[in-house]
Structure 1
Amino acid sequence: MKYYFIAGERSGDTHAARLLRELKQQDPAADFRYWGGDQMQAEGGELVRHYRELAVMGFWETATSILKFRGYLKECQRDVLAYQPDVLVLVDYGGFNLRMAAWAKEHGIRVFYYISPKIWAWNQSRGEKIKALVDKMFVILPFEEEFYQRFDYRVDYVGNPTADEVADFVPDPNFLTQNGLDPERQIIAVLPGSRKQEIEEMLHEMLAVLPAFQEYQFVVAGVSNLDRAYYQHFERNGIKLVIDQAFNLLSRASAALVTSGTATLETALFDVPQVVCYRTSGLTYAVGKALIKVPYISLVNLIVGREVVPEFIQGKFTARNLLDELKRLLTNKAYVARQRAGYAELRQKMGQPGTARHTAALMVKYLREAQPAAA
């Protein structure tokens, strides 16, 4: 069968690549064409556009970006029609992919969606739109199954790829030596996010607590999509930086300060006690607070359905609050035990690993069921 994938971001490239690998096992005749990245390309098939070229799509404010966005849509639509796939597989990336889903529906092209847009957080009415446009939805957060039931829409919970990545991870025994870290001192991991604006808001406050914890090593998880030189003004007073080694860092950490996002889930799956942090501009926060319809910002708390990890957002995100909370995580064993009990509940709710394998099996099953019976 012929599969046309659209993954417009780095994380989508990672998750789609695993799915391509499993689809080749489930469907030996599979043929792939896609918008994606290097990891998908390593699995074979034809790369049409790299996700790096699509970065402009985030800047909706300028007329030039809107024109480019529309141009990419038209280009993608022409290419899909020329390829004539058995299915269009959309991976997250809601702004672009929901438009492609609407277009595909008009043209009678079957649509599968892997990793739902986070419509449960805001603009929940789009559930009806997705129900109308998407033939099969494969979700990676347990509560999304229940969310879509509100719209009388059956979706498949397939597990979580982040849990798979953590389960498959093998720590590097040379991590400490290669990064100049002291094997005798405990590590506090600092995960400030991957976007420059995010890091500017978060990292100075996170590191302001360092003087109260001189016996520990503070290690910042940097990312390679930002120039290492950008982090240099944070590397002071013994603060260490590691690039693209968050899993190795978490496998060694005693506690973590984490910017809200997938990193909160990764930290929990490594069983590391954490404080979740987030701050943005006053205007953005006011707008977000009015629109967002969920009680928590961390995936850990959202999945478990209660507060497992503390969330210091906006005005509560202060060095004083971080200092007090970090002391509790490092000294209060009963408090840490309660957080880790919540982590165990999280793992139970997420289920067994094998997300890509499970998704691939379901996709092939649904496609074969939809094929006309042989005469």
Structure 2
Amino acid sequence: MKYYIIAGEASGDLHGSNLMKALLKEDSAAEIRFWGGDLMEKAGGTLVKHYRELAFMGFIEVVFNLKTILNNIKFCKKDIENFQPDVIIFIDYPGFNMRIAKWAKEKGIRTHYYISPQIWAWKENRIKDIKRDFDKLYVILPFEKDFYEKKHGFPVEFVGHPLIDAIHNRTVVDENSFRKEHQLDEKPIVALLPGSRKQEISKMLSLMLSVVEDFPNHQFVIAGAPSQEYAFYSQFLKNKNVHFIANRTYDLLSVSQAALVTSGTATLETALFKVPEVVCYKGSWASYQIAKRIITLKYISLVNLIMDREVVTELIQDECNPKNIKKELEKLFEPQHRKQLLEQFDELEQKLGGIGASEKTAKMIVNSVKG
């Protein structure tokens, strides 16, 4: 069968790659065409567009790039028509994917959504579009099943979180070899995960690095995003206690003592690696003013949302400043606080279900399309 997959961000590339591997096991004759990244390309299939051409952050940035976005939508529709897939699998990225889904449904093409849009956070009225435009919905957060089924009467499948698969299936790195390879000394490591887009990286790294001098007994390591080149990060490497490692975020987290993390999937990844963290986020003034008026969630990190309580500290907008970052990072090295965090991270993992999200989803998709 023919599968068309659309993932528009780094996290979608990771989950898309694991889903593709599972699809190829379920359907050995699978023909896959996709929008994604390097990981999906390694898994097989034909790459149409890389997500680095698609990622625009914030309300204002989207407006400035509206022409590019509309051209991508037009191109995507034409490419789908030429490919004639048996099913389109959408992975997150709702602004783009829901437009394509509406069009595809009208064309009579099967539409499956893996990692559904976070309409429980904002734009809940999108439920009408989801009910109209999608044949199947696969959710990865435990509270999403109740949200869709009990609140909105739309049946969905809870498949567990694919991050557990990604972490479970990775090759475990030897810490001594890793440190030697990247010229890291024996000091404890603080991982810096400032996001994947240039706008947020520039803003967040400047804040994260402001506390380096306050922690001379630790070394700070920037986790380079796969979508960015080393040349972009070089401007931040002016302190001998700051290092840079590209495309090895999981290996870095596995040897880190603490982390400063920009809100997003990385907050959950860090917790699943059992690394105490502080969540830091500061957007443009205009984007933040818009967001706080339409998003009604108590928390911005997935860790706190899933646990429905504050497990990790969130420093947002004005609270995200050098003084507060230093204060909260110091807490992460306190034995009792660390112990409490790690216990709650264990509870978090249990809530997310076991391994096998990619395999479960692939089997359901193949069986549904065949049926």
TM-score normalised according to structure 1 size: 0.90
Take 2:341 and 2:365, find their aligned partners in 1: how far apart are those partners? 37
| CA shift in 2, pair 1:310/1:43, >3 Å | closer
Q: Name 2:350's counterpart in structure 1.
A: 348
Could you tell me which of 197, 214, 217 is aligned with 2:216? 214
Residue 101 of structure 1, CA deviation: 1.0
The question of 1:258 aligning with 2:273 is answered no
Q: Name 1:135's counterpart in structure 2.
A: 135
Residue 224 of structure 1, CA deviation: 4.4
The question of 1:365 aligning with 2:367 is answered yes
Secondary structure in structure 2 of the residue aligned to 1:327: helix
**Bigger shift: residues 88-97 or 132-141:** 88-97
Residue 60 of structure 1, CA deviation: 4.1
Q: Name 2:248's counterpart in structure 1.
A: 245
| CA shift in 2, pair 1:311/1:41, >3 Å | closer
Take 1:240 and 1:50, find their aligned partners in 2: how far apart are those partners? 27
Q: Percent of counterpart pairs with the same letter?
A: 46
**Bigger shift: residues 77-86 or 167-176:** 77-86
Q: Name 2:233's counterpart in structure 1.
A: 231
Take 1:144 and 1:278, find their aligned partners in 2: how far apart are those partners? 24
Secondary structure in structure 1 of the residue aligned to 2:332: helix
CA offsets 1:118-143 (integer angstroms, 9 cap, x no match)? 22221111012101110101122222
Secondary structure in structure 2 of the residue aligned to 1:61: helix
Q: Name 1:297's counterpart in structure 2.
A: 300
Residue 232 of structure 1, CA deviation: 2.9
Residue 204 of structure 1, CA deviation: 2.4
Secondary structure in structure 2 of the residue aligned to 1:302: helix
Take 1:9 and 1:286, find their aligned partners in 2: how far apart are those partners? 24
Q: Name 2:87's counterpart in structure 1.
A: 87
Q: How does 1:49-128 map to 2 (within 5 A)?
A: 49-54=49-54, 60-62=62-64, 66-128=66-128
The question of whether the paired residues in 2 share the 8 Å contact of 1:32 and 1:44 is answered with yes
**Bigger shift: residues 320-329 or 303-312:** 320-329
The residue type equivalent to 1:160 in the other structure is: H
Q: Name 1:282's counterpart in structure 2.
A: 285
The residue type equivalent to 1:27 in the other structure is: D
Take 1:234 and 1:83, find their aligned partners in 2: how far apart are those partners? 44
Q: Name 2:162's counterpart in structure 1.
A: 161
The question of whether the paired residues in 1 share the 8 Å contact of 2:304 and 2:311 is answered with yes
The question of whether the paired residues in 2 share the 8 Å contact of 1:301 and 1:307 is answered with yes
Q: Name 1:30's counterpart in structure 2.
A: 30
| CA shift in 2, pair 1:121/1:271, >3 Å | same
Residue 205 of structure 1, CA deviation: 2.3
Take 2:21 and 2:352, find their aligned partners in 1: how far apart are those partners? 22
Take 2:8 and 2:212, find their aligned partners in 1: how far apart are those partners? 37
The question of 1:147 aligning with 2:147 is answered yes
CA offsets 1:212-252 (integer angstroms, 9 cap, x no match)? 32112222222343332333332214222222222122111
User: If you compute each CA radius of gyration, which structure gives the higher value, 1 or 2?
Assistant: 1
Take 1:346 and 1:228, find their aligned partners in 2: how far apart are those partners? 34
What stretches of structure 1 of length at least 5 have no aligned partner? 370-375
Secondary structure in structure 2 of the residue aligned to 1:258: strand
Take 1:53 and 1:204, find their aligned partners in 2: how far apart are those partners? 24
The residue type equivalent to 1:246 in the other structure is: T
The question of whether the paired residues in 1 share the 8 Å contact of 2:212 and 2:241 is answered with no
| CA shift in 2, pair 1:231/1:83, >3 Å | closer
**Bigger shift: residues 264-273 or 25-34:** 25-34
CA offsets 1:311-362 (integer angstroms, 9 cap, x no match)? 111121122222222222112x222222112111110111111111110111
Secondary structure in structure 2 of the residue aligned to 1:35: strand
The question of whether the paired residues in 2 share the 8 Å contact of 1:131 and 1:151 is answered with no
The question of whether the paired residues in 2 share the 8 Å contact of 1:209 and 1:319 is answered with yes
Q: Name 1:192's counterpart in structure 2.
A: 194
Q: How does 1:263-342 map to 2 (within 5 A)?
A: 263-331=266-334, 333-342=335-344
Take 1:325 and 1:41, find their aligned partners in 2: how far apart are those partners? 39
Take 2:351 and 2:255, find their aligned partners in 1: how far apart are those partners? 25
**Bigger shift: residues 65-74 or 136-145:** 65-74
The question of whether the paired residues in 2 share the 8 Å contact of 1:57 and 1:66 is answered with no
Take 1:261 and 1:220, find their aligned partners in 2: how far apart are those partners? 16
The residue type equivalent to 2:155 in the other structure is: R
| CA shift in 2, pair 1:237/1:16, >3 Å | closer
Take 1:324 and 1:285, find their aligned partners in 2: how far apart are those partners? 24
Residue 53 of structure 1, CA deviation: 4.5
CA offsets 1:153-191 (integer angstroms, 9 cap, x no match)? 1111112222221112233322100111112x2112222
The question of whether the paired residues in 2 share the 8 Å contact of 1:208 and 1:319 is answered with yes
The question of whether the paired residues in 1 share the 8 Å contact of 2:2 and 2:85 is answered with yes
Please, what is the CA RMSD of the aligned residues?
2.2
Q: Name 1:372's counterpart in structure 2.
A: none
Take 2:76 and 2:225, find their aligned partners in 1: how far apart are those partners? 30
Q: Name 1:373's counterpart in structure 2.
A: none
Secondary structure in structure 2 of the residue aligned to 1:266: helix
Residue 192 of structure 1, CA deviation: 1.7
The residue type equivalent to 2:91 in the other structure is: V
Secondary structure in structure 2 of the residue aligned to 1:126: helix
